[in-house]
Chains A and B, each alone.
Chain A
Amino acid sequence: MAPCDYLFVFAQAHEEFRVPELRSIAELHGFPVGFDRYTTEDLADVVRRPFMILKLEEEEHARLLANRCILIKSIYEFYAQGSTYDDLHEANKRVRSLWERYIPDTSFKFTVIGYNHGLSQRRQRDAIESFAYMDFLGKIEMRHPEITLGVFEEYEDDRRPDGCRNVDGEFKQAYFGRLVAEGTARSLIRTFDVKKRAYFGNTSMEAEISLLMANQTQAAPGKLMYDPFIGTGSMAYTTAYFGAHVYGSDIDGRQMRGKAKTPGIIRAAAQYGVAQRIIDLCTFDVTRHPWRCGGLFDAIITDPPYGVRAGAKRLGRKKVRDDRPPPQVPRPDPNEPYIPPTKPYELSALIADLILFARYQLKPRGLLVFFLPTVTETYDEVDVQAALCEGMEIVANSVQGFGSWGRRLITIRKTAAESYPSPTFDSANINDAGSLHAPAHKDFREKYFQGFK
């Protein structure tokens, strides 16, 4: 079947995440999505608007996307667009072959929706009547029509440039198509709302973002995921929900356990019906990990500690004094659990180590998905490129901005086929005097507390 145009209606949030999410899910299912209408420059602008026209080979692909991508509101078979209704109708008449099959006896209804402008009942009726030339003979069915025809009026903004209210008909563009799929994944944002979770903490990732992260990993049944900084488990719930099995570890066992006997992460996972797919939780420092071998995981998904709310630390001692005797085997005290000393883990070293670790621990073609906090003013793409090691390639880089700083969701694929040994986790000691540009995220913690001056 020849590829067709589809009108995608997107949520107006997390604009940079839209295309990566789409591409990720299309890749998971093994079908292409055609972006031919847009150049790379166009894309940066068009993702700020709700409508995009993309090519798909089959209607079923639209349903698969709408069922999984949380940024999709709905998908229509695209018929026509125009900057006026006259232009739209002319274009619509030219594609009669797409909709004439519905003329004889298909029950239908029209919906007319305005973006950035409310449309009165009267206006909606007038718009619908302007399509009378289509001559549909079937019954009008408001509740369960066989097809729904969608008319969209997109206004530039919610006010005109002069500050006055929008005038009916003075829209940027109108679109018309036949509803193929409603975005059913969006309701998961409510399902995973952190405030309703059985166990969460102040570092728990918000629902929308943990869902986007899970989609970047292409989580699916049969796959194995790992979060080495699992904390309160936010990313485990969404990846497990999509069918994957998950391992989690953290240097701080209390974050995983909470105060009750049943570990908090397991209680929250049970709330979502996915407790069985959390295989195990372990307390350890990923830089001194106990994994017997590498190449275990289809994806590593994590929000590493930036050192701001959660202490970014690793085993070791901050100040190693020359006059101090070497560390002794600790005297066992039956009343006190032994707590080993920790030292700070500077962010750019942590990130470089994480990428090396992922190369060791991912299967070939596996994906590393993580957040990188960055300083808006000094960020440069090379900050991420320079953290890569051989055999790891950037797939996506989407920013969630908070003004003077932001966090970037990075997706990296392991393109190397060979196995690598477990890294030594000493990126902090690598002499980078040769590089001219210190990444924006270096010493992020200090920069954050100084207000990014």
Chain B
Amino acid sequence: MVRLITHNLLACHAKGCTTNNFPLLLKDVQIELREQEFNHDFIKNILPRLEWRALVRQLGDTSLPLEQPEMTDDEFLQKLHHVLLEIHVVEGVMICPNCKHSYPISNGIPNMLLAEHEIG
């Protein structure tokens, strides 16, 4: 935790932050790789909800194709499984590119609480 799948599902919802609020920029990160059992159905089911471009850009390598593929064979799902579930941001900060709110990650748990002036 924080897994890359989660980073792909979180946006900044501070007051007024409605554009350019995703993906959050990761900074000062401490990464850990942890092996996890592959579940074919789970990966297949979450695929339609992913923001593919953001995922590939965050990953920063070529292990996943730039465009979400039409055919999803087991080999592809296994690679996706590794990216989504086996890469953990244990410490660091997530920063909103729009309002610059800083969400700290501590022991794998992000603090997404908003400040008083951000809840409107």
Q: How many A-B residue pairs have CB under 8 A?
A: 116
By a CB distance below 8 angstroms, the chain A residues around B9 are 291-293, 296
Closest CB-CB distance, A196 to chain B, in whole Å? 24
Chain B's closest residue to A283 (CB) is B111
Q: List CB contacts (< 8 Å) of A90-146 with chain B.
A: none
A261 close to B (CB within 8 Å): yes
B114 touches A328 (CB 8 A): no
B112 close to A (CB within 8 Å): yes
Chain B's closest residue to A220 (CB) is B41
Chain A's closest residue to B102 (CB) is A332
A380 close to B (CB within 8 Å): no
Mark each residue of chain A from 258 to 279: 1 if its CB lies under 8 Å from any CB of chain B, else 0: 0001110010000000001011
Q: List CB contacts (< 8 Å) of A243-298 with chain B.
A: 245, 247, 249, 251, 253, 256-257, 261-263, 266, 276, 278-285, 288-293, 295-296
B-binding residues in A (CB < 8 A): 221-224, 245, 247, 249, 251, 253, 256-257, 261-263, 266, 276, 278-285, 288-293, 295-296, 315-317, 326-330, 338, 340-341
Mark each residue of chain B from 97 to 115: 1 if its CB lies under 8 Å from any CB of chain A, else 0: 0000000000111111111
Given the known interface contacts A222-B45, A276-B36, the answer about A285 and B1 at a Cβ–Cβ threshold of 8 Å is no
By a CB distance below 8 angstroms, the chain A residues around B10 are 282, 290-292
B112 touches A283 (CB 8 A): yes
B5 close to A (CB within 8 Å): yes
By a CB distance below 8 angstroms, the chain B residues around A329 are 115, 117
CA distance A84 to B6 in the complex (A): 63
Given the known interface contacts A263-B107, A282-B6, the answer about A293 and B49 at a Cβ–Cβ threshold of 8 Å is yes
Closest CB-CB distance, B4 to chain A, in whole Å? 10
B36 touches A285 (CB 8 A): no
5 closest A-B pairs by CB: A222-B41, A284-B112, A327-B117, A327-B116, A292-B11
Q: Which of B5, B107, B111, B114 contacts A288 (CB 8 A)?
A: B114
Mark each residue of chain B from 4 to 26: 1 if its CB lies under 8 Å from any CB of chain A, else 0: 01101111110000000010000
Given the known interface contacts A222-B42, A224-B46, A276-B37, the answer about A326 and B117 at a Cβ–Cβ threshold of 8 Å is yes
A279 touches B6 (CB 8 A): yes
Given the known interface contacts A222-B39, A276-B36, A292-B9, the answer about A284 and B45 at a Cβ–Cβ threshold of 8 Å is no
